Structure 1
Amino acid sequence: MRMLRWFCGHIRRDRVRNEEIRARVGVAPIEEKLIQHRLRWFGHVQRRPPEAPVHSGVLKRSDNVKRGRPRLTWDATVKRDLKEWNIAKELAMDRSAWRLAINVPEP
């Protein structure tokens, strides 16, 4: 945001909202870009062979701490993103269709 504010000629003291700056410059919200990046990585993982360590879950951390709320895992976040964007998990096998599904249009 600092770079976008500089680009528009505003400083924080001007009290111009981030949404207005992003709309003026034509940049998508960062939340959507993060979801897009996470789903792009999910597509890479899904297209790997089943015996790959990244696909089979060998690289997962094992925390033995059982106190408090369970940590939000990458899998749970991806499932939430897929549900929120109404994308089927099986679509990841077709790279061109997957790219079209997860693309965030710039405003």
Structure 2
Amino acid sequence: MMYGSECWPIKKIQERKLETAEMRMLRWICGHTRLDRIRNETIRGRLGVACISDKVREGRLRWFGHVRRRDVLALVRSVDHLIVEWRRCMGRPRLTWDEQIRQDLLVLHLSEDMISDKIS
């Protein structure tokens, strides 16, 4: 379900759909239904599972750390400076991966240096 999530800039609607699908699976694992009226936090606590949006954010930041530690001439780093010429559709600009990383860092009160430094 989370394959390739390191590269997803997720919108709130998509995040909510992921959390809904996750909770349906967790309820199925526990043998509960929505009619049992058991809170999501209770089910997560019983199974010892973190929220999927936190796991997606963790994976994104882990990948960001890998990318930052690579050599500047590496292919994965050169994509960061790639300029793509396209005609943008009307409306709000799409959320880029870099902007999503910046938002994740703000939410967790971290700096780019803290992500780049890997503790051995």
2:110 to 75, 78, 87: 87
Q: TM-score, normalised by structure 2?
A: 0.67
Instruction: Calculate the TM-score normalised by the size of structure 1.
Output: 0.74
Contact 1:43 1:93 in 2 (8 A): yes
Counterpart of 1:100 in structure 2 is none
Tell me the distance in 2 between the aligned counterparts of 1:8 and 1:58: 43
> Which consecutive residues of structure 2, in runs of 5 or more, have no partner in the other structure?
1-22
RMSD after superposition? 2.3
How far 1:60 sits from its partner (Å)?
5.3
- 1:1-107 alignment runs, 5 A limit: 1-57=23-79, 62=84, 63-96=86-119
2:99 is matched by which residue type in structure 1?
Answer: A
Alignment length, in residue pairs? 97
- How far did residue 96 of structure 1 move? 1.6
Asked if the contact 1:48–1:55 (Cα under 8 Å) also holds between the matched residues in 2, the reply is yes
Over 3 Å counting, the alpha-carbon distance change for 1:58 and 1:90 in structure 2 is closer
Calculate percent identity across the aligned residue pairs: 48
- For 1:50 and 1:22, the matched residues in 2 are separated by 41
Pairwise CA distance, 1:57: 2.2
8 Å Cα contact 1:50/1:56 also seen in 2 = yes
Q: Secondary structure at the match of 1:5?
A: helix
- Offset of residue 47 of structure 1: 0.6
